[in-house]
Structure 1
Amino acid sequence: MRTKRILAAVVGIIVLLVAAALLTDWRFLRGPVERLATEKLGRQVVLEDFRMRLRPVTRIRLHGLAVDNIPDARPERMLEAESIEVHVRLLPLLRRAVVLDLLSVDGAQAHLARDASGANNWTLATQDDGGPPPDVVLRALSLNRVKVNYDDRVLKADAHLQADSMETPASGPAYGMKLEFGGRYHDAAFGGVARTGGILALRDSGTPFPFFIDAKGGPTRIRAEGLVGDPFGDATVDVALDIAGPTLSTLYPYINLPLPTTPPYRIKGRLKRAGMNFDLSGMAGTIGSTDISGDASYEMRGDKPMLRARLKSRVLDMKDLGPLIGVRDDAPAQKTQAAPRPAVDRRILPDAEFRLERLNAIDADVTLDAGDVRVRGPWAFDDFSAHLILHDGVLKLVPLNFGYAGGELRSDITLDARQPVIRTDARIGVQRARLNRLFPDVKLMQKSEGTLGADVKLKTAGNSIRAMLGRADGTVGMAVTGGEISNLLVEAIGLDASQALGFLIGGDKETRLRCAVATFGVKDGIATSQALVIDTDDTRIDGHGTIDLRNERLALRFEPRPKDKSILVARSPIDIVGTFGAPDFKIDKASLFARAGASVALAFINPLAALIPLIETGPGTDADCQGLLSNLREARRNADAPAPKGKGKAR
């Protein structure tokens, strides 16, 4: 009987202890909790009230909490809170895991900071023992009347956030919390407002919460609405995204994606994230006056991110792609200039340097296809197709193609940015471009027939298009085979007034184009002619000279040699000189004045004799077209290539 009484007493005591543990609010632990927290944090902790309900999921309520900042830091308090409620699971504590089902904060202000050395004010001063720190999991968060200030000298970030609960609307997304935020990141201002569910399901719930954000980062505007789940775990995202700004490059460094400089843009799409992958599907928008659509993905990887995109455009305006290769739009700047730079001195080759650090910051695989191309000037582009591959600092455009004058301009270009100066290897070919579409604004060319082929091979080094061309080595070859050309144009070049006048009165006719050939050797940015011939049944035109790519200057001479007899001919060499920005066409005045002087002198003897110096006996001979073309096998092959499908349409 005595043993039974003892066992009954022990059981009774245990029951009483369990009942006491379950029924008491444990407020007497306020002092011990203050002292323990002060010891572990290494700074003073003050607590006005402590309550706890001991359960498998224990609820702890703290009132009037204040935590001092680290020594010599401002403000004096790192954290002040009117009320904090924590729901913590007991069993995981046995394996050094802290699982918080809920952290609810009401009426609080926190000041978090990290200096340039990386030291911060939120890391514990000491650990419990020499073992690893406990694993902390926060599954849900609720904030009301909470302000957080964050100063990070490592990230160059200074931010503030204010969270307030809001009344859940009767219809629509169940937003229960409003977040207002702002600050600066890498000297760029940002700010905005977000709305979320009243309790954020941060981990393992499987239930995403509604999310809306309207924010500005510098000049960039972002709006997104949808669902977000487990941001500290898999961070699933499924939102409708609307983003706009003056240039895509301003997104860097907000996101580690070195996008190019572009005109103003706006892009909409569906953004989804699963793990380390972001997918933007159903993308539609504009960049400048160019429309863009397609799908893109961004994968965060250990070494560097990977961007993949398949893009299409109905109408591609080339001025929107110009900044990609360093072309600057000078129109806005000219409005503010008191004295615009003279055209004769204006450089037109792009000189903006490629950003080496950005070419090495990401890998990419991007395609872009455009159905129609718009371009300033007398260029005959039709459509556009490009495949960009960037891997470990080596950028390949394989291919970069244009529909050009009813044919194709095909190119493969490699830029190696693994060293301070980019090394470039370019192979460009023009296939079966039609003469009557090469210069659509020149009426005399519209009556010409024939096809142009070209083959360009260049190797160079430089960090801008201008620098690359100024150091280029290689070859340039062009050939035109078959067809006809305006006789009025040929006679005008030869300064044959009588025949030109006859064509003007009787109507222009075409003369057979036997061949047209141009070959240049390029050395250190200077292209020197090796063969330059235009041969028709009526006239042969020989040329020679140089094209200075480094200084953008022309020095070419063309000498017409008519094959027929004619009067009123003032034939003289024609020089093409000046700069790329302001080319000048000049007639050799010495040769012209010699004929004119002889004509005037003879006029004193007999007025009819004045025509003698202006009579052309036709010294021109046929060029060796077969021999010339045999040295341009690739260019000739391009000229005779089958017409690309769909390129024969009139424009």
Structure 2
Amino acid sequence: MVDLSHPPSARDSSPADAPPPPAPAPVRDPARTAIASVVSVVATIFGLIFLAWLVLFVTKGRFLKHTFERVASRYMERDIRVAGDFNFYFDPIDVKFLAEGMTVSNPDWAKKPNLFASKLIDTRIETLPLIFGKKQIEWLNLVDGTVDLEWDKAHKRNSWTFAGDTPFQMPLIRRAAVTGTDIHYDDAAMQIFADVHFDPINAKDSRFANNILFTGKGTARGNPFTLNGSQTSPNALMAGGRNQFELHVRAARTSVDVSGTLPAATQIEGADLAVQVRGRNLRNLFDLAGIAVPDTRAYRLRSHLTKRGQDYEFTRIAGSYGNSDIGGAMTVTVPRTGTEDRLFLKADLASRLVDMIDIGPFIGYNPDKLATQGATAAATTQHARGAYPRILPDAPLRVDAIKAFDAKVTYKVADIRQPFVPISNILLGLDLDHSLMKLSPLNFDMAGGHVDSDISINARQPAIVTDYDIRMSPTPMGKLLARFGVNDSGTTGTIKARVKMTGTGNTVRDSLATSNGRIAVILPRGTFWTSYTQLSEFDIGTFVQKMFEKKLKEPVQINCGLIGFTVRDGIAAADPILIDTSKNVMTAKGGFSFKDELLSFAFRADAKKFSVFSGQSPVGIGGHFAAPSFQIVTPELLLRGGVGVALGVLTPPAALLAFVDPGDAKAAACGPVLAGANAAAQRTLKGEPRKDIGKGKSADVKAEKDKKPIKL
């Protein structure tokens, strides 16, 4: 029994009977807690993404059709509609987009209601590049599409530039299948219209049964053209291979053939393309692009084409025009849409050998006439109101064409075949900046001398103004005039010259016909020989004497000479023509006219020493540039003959008096002559003003013209 009278004390209780101590509070790990939270959030996000993906994948995103129309229309500020089925989902990562009957409207000013319309557009867009701002399409299937690209009349707006002045950029499309699709291009300002049609494509088991073919036609600045091309390796393309591309264009008696590989169906950047061009006139080809180049004879060129950004680079150019070779490189920079930039042409060209006849079209002579009629006939035209021939070119400068682009061109020519005088090492620099064309430098070696030229054609104003500045360094006369009967071995004299004029007009002929300025040809001291020298001096006594002494080839010693003209309104009057030789002083009056290409000169050679049988009569030069005439027997000489006959009737020996030259010619002071000064500054050796030379007056030219020539 238990004794209840004595309850147990604390000392009497055993440890086994004591209550257990309380458990310690759990300690939380912050790192594990954070990781758990992140995992929970990520799992939730991925769960939501997967759920969204799953919903889109199951429904194909069809419920987003109206949302897509609303958002896309607001973003692009165009009305975008999908008439039929619509898909927008991830499959599994890339974006799958499908729309039946999709249309994108044009702006209100456009002629056609829609920029784009198609029966079906089915495409897969790569997601990762899209995240980084790159539009890259893995494949595209387009059925019965229509694309209408238009510019407005002012060429300031186009139909493919959307909200924010952002032009549509064609995405990179790696693979494409285009069936029954048409592209229309309309640019009224540039006069370019084109329609391109893609033929239907049959495919089986992801392999095309035939090539992707396209054809087209249109007009460029009134010139009709046709084109056709193909994608020649579609099966390799479907497998991710490179696109074998061909394009053939025929227009304006010109053929263009392009072939090579494209990295992708819509990617020209970095392409390796071979271009071959041939035609009757290189101008016809560049006219299609709105670029003005000189006429040429028939040509054939080949090059490689690469696109880098806005630049189309033509490298390794090689070929010929006429009988001349040409090579080099050229870059055409296309301005970005919406900018004030202009089309820019940069070229670095060179020729080893150029035929003289091939230069004719560069300055305005008709290339077809040069090819069929020869240089002389092609350069000669008849005056519209007269029977006289003209040779100055009258091809107009194409002002409208040069307003559309800028250019910087360098052209080097090593040698010229069949020149009138020896010409080589031509260097031409052409700079076109907003209708201001500068041919600077225009330099070349000529007959042992050198010519430097700077020519400026300002077409910024309605009245086109041309400045000519042509400088010829001392050049041996023997080489320069060899084709005109001058003997190189007996000639040590040189010629230097300067032409500085300004004219108005859009042809070479009009510009010179209105020109003002000065022409000066200076002959420093030296010897000169030609079998025609004594004939031009018309000193019968000296001529006969030298003929019997067999010294006809003795050179003439030139002390100094100046052939100078003052040009006023296209009429060049002698100012002065003065040549001082050891035995004669040669002068001339008259001049020539750029207006009607008339020559009206009277040359006189007065002896410094007494001479018998001297005609002392001027030698006339008349006619026109294309058909000059020489008048050896002049009215003055006939008058002398008449006086001699009259005196001979009275006293036969007195007949000789009419042909006696007293030898009173006044030698020239060579200082003003060598300085190229005008007639007012010329002096005799005694310092007296000269009265026997032309004064640079246009009336002198008319006076000589009115004299009736005496035919031999």
Q: Same fold (TM over 0.5)?
A: yes
How far is the alpha carbon of 1:423 from its aligned partner? 2.5
Aligned to 2:484: 442
Residue number among 424, 438, 454 corresponding to 1:382 in the alignment: 424
Does residue 1:356 correspond to 2:399, yes or no?
Answer: yes
Superposed, 1:430-469 pairs within 5 Å as 430-446=472-488, 447-469=490-512
Letter in structure 2 aligned against 1:551: D
Residues 44-70 of structure 1: CA distance to partner in whole angstroms, max 9, x if unpaired?
97759999995333556778x698999
Contact 2:194 2:216 in 1 (8 A): no
Contact 2:297 2:371 in 1 (8 A): no
Aligned to 2:699: none
Contact 1:271 1:279 in 2 (8 A): yes
Task: Name the SS for the 1:324 alignment partner.
Answer: helix
Contact 1:99 1:136 in 2 (8 A): no
Structure of greater relative contact order (alpha carbons < 8 Å, 6+ residues apart): 1
Residues 80-105 of structure 1: CA distance to partner in whole angstroms, max 9, x if unpaired?
75x75432467999999987432113
How far is the alpha carbon of 1:21 from its aligned partner? 7.1
How far is the alpha carbon of 1:561 from its aligned partner? 0.9
Residues 351-392 of structure 1: CA distance to partner in whole angstroms, max 9, x if unpaired?
22222233333332222221112466x444333112222223
How far is the alpha carbon of 1:543 from its aligned partner? 1.3
Equivalent-residue separation in structure 2 for 1:419 and 1:576 (angstroms): 39
Q: Relative to 1, partners in 2 of residues 1:349 and 1:183: Cα closer, same or farther, differing over 3 Å?
A: same
Residue number among 235, 238, 249 corresponding to 1:215 in the alignment: 249
Superposed, 1:535-546 pairs within 5 Å as 535-546=580-591
Residue number among 534, 540, 543 corresponding to 1:491 in the alignment: 534
Aligned to 2:138: 101
Residue number among 567, 573, 579 corresponding to 2:618 in the alignment: 573
Residues 377-422 of structure 1: CA distance to partner in whole angstroms, max 9, x if unpaired?
x444333112222223322222211222221121122222221222
How far is the alpha carbon of 1:428 from its aligned partner? 1.3
Q: Relative to 1, partners in 2 of residues 1:600 and 1:143: Cα closer, same or farther, differing over 3 Å?
A: same
Residue number among 177, 181, 185 corresponding to 2:212 in the alignment: 177
Equivalent-residue separation in structure 2 for 1:371 and 1:146 (angstroms): 53
Contact 2:332 2:344 in 1 (8 A): yes
Q: TM-score, normalised to structure 1's length? A: 0.77
Residues 166-186 of structure 1: CA distance to partner in whole angstroms, max 9, x if unpaired?
999xxxxx9953333333334
Equivalent-residue separation in structure 1 for 2:484 and 2:168 (angstroms): 79
Residue number among 354, 361, 373 corresponding to 1:323 in the alignment: 361
Equivalent-residue separation in structure 1 for 2:131 and 2:277 (angstroms): 48
How far is the alpha carbon of 1:199 from its aligned partner? 7.9
Q: TM-score, normalised to structure 2's length? A: 0.71
Q: Relative to 1, partners in 2 of residues 1:232 and 1:530: Cα closer, same or farther, differing over 3 Å?
A: same
Equivalent-residue separation in structure 2 for 1:403 and 1:57 (angstroms): 67
Equivalent-residue separation in structure 2 for 1:322 and 1:278 (angstroms): 30
Aligned to 2:324: 290
Equivalent-residue separation in structure 2 for 1:394 and 1:340 (angstroms): 29
Instruction: Give the stretch that moved more between structures: 328-337 or 138-147.
Output: 328-337
Letter in structure 1 aligned against 2:619: I
Equivalent-residue separation in structure 1 for 2:159 and 2:129 (angstroms): 22
Identity of aligned residues (%): 23
Contact 1:306 1:364 in 2 (8 A): yes
Equivalent-residue separation in structure 2 for 1:627 and 1:75 (angstroms): 78
How far is the alpha carbon of 1:466 from its aligned partner? 1.9
How far is the alpha carbon of 1:454 from its aligned partner? 0.9
Q: Relative to 1, partners in 2 of residues 1:151 and 1:490: Cα closer, same or farther, differing over 3 Å?
A: closer
Task: Name the SS for the 1:441 alignment partner.
Answer: helix
Letter in structure 1 aligned against 2:138: D
Equivalent-residue separation in structure 2 for 1:451 and 1:493 (angstroms): 20
Aligned to 2:645: 600
Q: Relative to 1, partners in 2 of residues 1:387 and 1:109: Cα closer, same or farther, differing over 3 Å?
A: closer
Residues 157-214 of structure 1: CA distance to partner in whole angstroms, max 9, x if unpaired?
141323455999xxxxx99533333333343222233232428989xx9986332222
Contact 2:229 2:245 in 1 (8 A): yes
Residue number among 242, 246, 255 corresponding to 2:280 in the alignment: 246
Superposed, 1:87-166 pairs within 5 Å as 87-88=124-125, 100-105=137-142, 108=144, 110=146, 112=148, 137=171, 139-143=173-177, 145-148=179-182, 150=184, 152=186, 154=188, 156-163=192-199, 165=201
Aligned to 2:269: 235
Aligned to 1:530: 575
Task: Name the SS for the 1:410 alignment partner.
Answer: strand
Residue number among 189, 214, 224 corresponding to 1:189 in the alignment: 224
Contact 1:402 1:408 in 2 (8 A): yes
Task: Name the SS for the 1:86 alignment partner.
Answer: strand
Equivalent-residue separation in structure 2 for 1:135 and 1:580 (angstroms): 59
Unaligned runs of 5+ in 2: 1-46, 679-712
Q: Relative to 1, partners in 2 of residues 1:200 and 1:135: Cα closer, same or farther, differing over 3 Å?
A: farther
Does residue 1:473 correspond to 2:513, yes or no?
Answer: no
Contact 2:493 2:525 in 1 (8 A): yes
Residues 85-128 of structure 1: CA distance to partner in whole angstroms, max 9, x if unpaired?
4324679999999874321136x36474759779xxx989x99x
**Which protein is bigger by CA-based radius of gyration?**
2
How far is the alpha carbon of 1:275 from its aligned partner? 0.8
Equivalent-residue separation in structure 2 for 1:593 and 1:21 (angstroms): 113
Equivalent-residue separation in structure 2 for 1:424 and 1:45 (angstroms): 60
Letter in structure 2 aligned against 1:317: D
CA RMSD of aligned residues (A): 4.9
Equivalent-residue separation in structure 2 for 1:461 and 1:627 (angstroms): 31
Q: Relative to 1, partners in 2 of residues 1:630 and 1:375: Cα closer, same or farther, differing over 3 Å?
A: same
How far is the alpha carbon of 1:502 from its aligned partner? 4.3
How far is the alpha carbon of 1:43 from its aligned partner? 10
Equivalent-residue separation in structure 2 for 1:133 and 1:472 (angstroms): 49
Which one has a larger percent strand, Structure 1 or Structure 2?
Answer: 1
Contact 1:240 1:268 in 2 (8 A): yes
Task: Name the SS for the 1:550 alignment partner.
Answer: coil
Equivalent-residue separation in structure 2 for 1:430 and 1:289 (angstroms): 28
Q: How many residues align?
A: 602
Contact 2:176 2:265 in 1 (8 A): no
Aligned to 2:703: none
Equivalent-residue separation in structure 2 for 1:431 and 1:347 (angstroms): 29
Does residue 1:86 correspond to 2:115, yes or no?
Answer: no
Q: Relative to 1, partners in 2 of residues 1:311 and 1:253: Cα closer, same or farther, differing over 3 Å?
A: closer
Residue number among 370, 374, 399 corresponding to 2:413 in the alignment: 370
Q: Relative to 1, partners in 2 of residues 1:580 and 1:200: Cα closer, same or farther, differing over 3 Å?
A: farther
Unaligned runs of 5+ in 1: 1-11, 169-173, 634-651
